[in-house]
């Protein structure tokens, strides 16, 4: 059976979370974007994402099945986001909402906002160097948390009123914050890097 591949932009940046981005302090819980590590490339396997840091350290993403501090389900091993969504977030919240700040592993350059129906059930990422096509199954959108919502609204030190928090969560929801995926079955580990082409498979 033939498949259709519709290009959905190119990878702009890749990053990992060696540790969770929500930290606990004496004042409560905060979103700490400084824990994100931008890398040259990612390796994706059925267990999640791993990478070499700029210092040459091999790290597992916090969502990787083998990460010692993993505290998540296994349906969020890979997260993608889109530059178009960051444009909307900057318009809403300000220039601090730079591409990648929401913590997704793969940020894709695309000029239109993207929702679950646009992604379908599977995407593919073509390695620019080797031509290898890695497939990822689309599971759901990444629900925004209260801590990230306060970060976006510049209100981490003075929490938003309930109604404003609800509005912020709704604005960031349905995929604007990102989408959750897993590596499709029966594939060899794949490398993803900036410049790789991204396709919807359908």
Euclidean distance between the first and the last CA atom of the chain, given in angstroms as a whole number: 11
- Provide the residue ranges of all domains of the chain, joining segments of one domain with +: 5-15+75-201
Assign domain 5-15+75-201 one CATH number from 3.40.50.1370, 3.40.50.300, 3.40.50.2300, 2.40.33.20.
Answer: 2.40.33.20
To 5 degrees, how large is the angle CA 65–CA 120–CA 177? 60
Helix (H, G, I), strand (E, B) or coil at 158: coil
Helix (H, G, I), strand (E, B) or coil at 14: strand
- Alpha-carbon span 104 to 82, nearest angstrom: 9
Burial of 133 (0-12, 13-18, 19+ CB in 10 A): middle
- Alpha-carbon span 106 to 93, nearest angstrom: 22
Q: How many CB atoms lie within 10 A of CB 153?
A: 20
What are residue 173's phi and psi, to 5 degrees?
A: -80, -175
**What is the residue-level pLDDT of the chain in tens, covering all 202 positions?**
458 999 999 999 999 999 999 999 888 899 999 999 999 999 999 999 999 999 999 999 999 999 999 877 787 899 999 999 999 999 999 999 999 999 999 999 999 999 999 999 999 999 999 999 999 999 999 999 999 999 999 999 888 999 999 999 999 999 999 999 999 999 999 999 999 999 999 8
User: Rg of the Cα trace of the chain?
Assistant: 17
- Alpha-carbon span 184 to 68, nearest angstrom: 23
The pTM assigned to this predicted structure is: 0.95
H/E stretch holding 62:
none
Would you state the torsion angle of the CA atoms of residues 184, 190, 196, 197, taken in this order, to the nearest 10 degrees? Answer: -20
């Amino acid at each position: 059976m033939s498949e259709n591949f519709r290009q959905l932009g190119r990878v702009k940046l890749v990053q990992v979370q060696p540790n969770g981005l929500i930290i606990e302090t004496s004042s409560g819980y905060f979103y700490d974007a400084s824990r994100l590590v931008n890398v040259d490339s990612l390796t994706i396997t059925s267990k999640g994402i791993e990478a070499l840091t700029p210092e040459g350290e091999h790290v597992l993403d916090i969502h990787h099945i083998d990460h010692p501090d993993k505290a998540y389900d296994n349906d969020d091993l890979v997260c993608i986001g889109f530059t178009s969504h960051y444009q909307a977030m900057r318009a809403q919240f300000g220039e601090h909402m730079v591409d990648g700040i929401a913590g997704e592993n793969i940020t894709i350059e695309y000029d239109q906002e993207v929702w679950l129906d646009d992604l379908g059930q599977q995407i593919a990422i073509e390695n620019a160097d080797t031509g290898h096509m890695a497939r990822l199954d689309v599971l759901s959108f990444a629900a925004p948390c209260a801590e990230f919502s306060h970060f976006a609204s510049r209100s981490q030190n003075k929490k938003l009123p309930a109604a404003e928090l609800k509005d912020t969560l709704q604005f960031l929801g349905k995929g604007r914050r990102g989408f959750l995926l897993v590596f499709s079955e029966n594939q060899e580990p794949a490398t993803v890097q900036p410049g790789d082409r991204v396709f919807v498979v359908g």
